[in-house]
Structure 1
């Protein structure tokens, strides 16, 4: 006969309370070392530019120069128009790419293959120098003129940027359209809606939540890509600052000025992209994340409440 011993002690004796766990935080020495190295490199970089032969006073002096502001306006204008051409043509190419007609889908595939496979800088130069191949443009009976007068720097920049962007937007729109469940299309067609109406009223509105984020990135990227239109002699921000830099002798300073303007413009576009993405995310999330302004208001109200409770 065996007897089982109760390890907890006699019956009725309460079990001892568990000891408190002493949590010892892990020391991340690598983080501190990398932070120190990063700060040291940043300080060295700032010190090098501060001690360098840079006329920093020239930047605020020419920041609102008339030629520079004209370049800013032209940069914004060519960016907007190129994106309009790219988005409009990209939607058409995406629909053609998804078409069951092999000829239509092949043409769209060939367009995307060509314009994505060649640099945009080369495309700009090709459009600008087509006058060496075609001396006249003759669209009877609508238009007839010399190619050099027809292909202005503005038109060459618009075609080079817009047609290239259409190839990328076509793939973005195609991915957005394919992200919509096929049951939505089948339900719309069961209600008697045509293919065009189904695409316009059912598919595209739902695809926008997938299309908008990369389109915003493409818009910002287009703003920076406009710096390449200097190759076709279009007066943009980079062309303006380069011209002012040559005339004033502050070449490097004007490049810093151009970089500052690009940062300002891209920051504004980034804010717009954030609110646009938030707008189209309403149908996918129950509670939208608070905007920066809302977070600031909450922080101010909580601070006031704490002060009132302390008083």
Structure 2
């Protein structure tokens, strides 16, 4: 009987201990919850009420990767978020706004509250492929990037100007696929002629012309058959070599044959004649000046 009473007391004691441990655990969990809610409230209040915003783009804006695009051009895009709390700034929208600059391919925006509020902008700029010129004899106006974007030189004067020139209308538009295709065709021509392509004339869509150091090629329309037509160039180069000085162009616009146009006047002889005439005029002018000085004396 006494043993049964002791067992009951032991069971009650164990149950009491378990209840006390459970109550203590619940109290700890409740305190953790209250502490967490308090910290979240304080953190939210700090984010909302503390002045975590950029006041200017001079000291609170960092720009990296801008070799062609000026810091001022990027700062103008960031001006829209000056005075706005950092947590309200939409980085994606700001990246899209900066990427609208012709020389910027991609932009990445990061917001920082410590050690002081500031914005970091990293840009990846376009890579130039060709220099755009309205027509031969005029000054370059833009640069065409590998993605096809036209970058005006007046806004980005420091951008590299590739030696390849593209002549075309003022509203010339190219895509990345267009640039890739023309780069492939230019490389194909260079491989056959052993000379780099200097210019592509796109002013007439159905009469495209390509110029390298010694040859001018009429390509016709840049359709799907152009690669095959360019492949016939190597077969006529040997025959063309003796007449290069009189050759105006090789016509690769036809499927059946390859016409060639020869100039009536040898350009080298004409240039030598003009040089001789200029030299004669210069000598005559010098003789007149000398005679005038002798008369004066």
> Could you say which TM-score interval applies, normalised by the shorter chain?
under 0.3
TM-score of the superposition, structure 2-length normalised?
0.20
Structure with the bigger percentage of strand? 2
Q: TM-score of the superposition, structure 1-length normalised?
A: 0.20
Higher helix share: 1
Q: Which has the higher contact order (CA 8 A, sep 6+)?
A: 1
Greater C-alpha Rg: 2
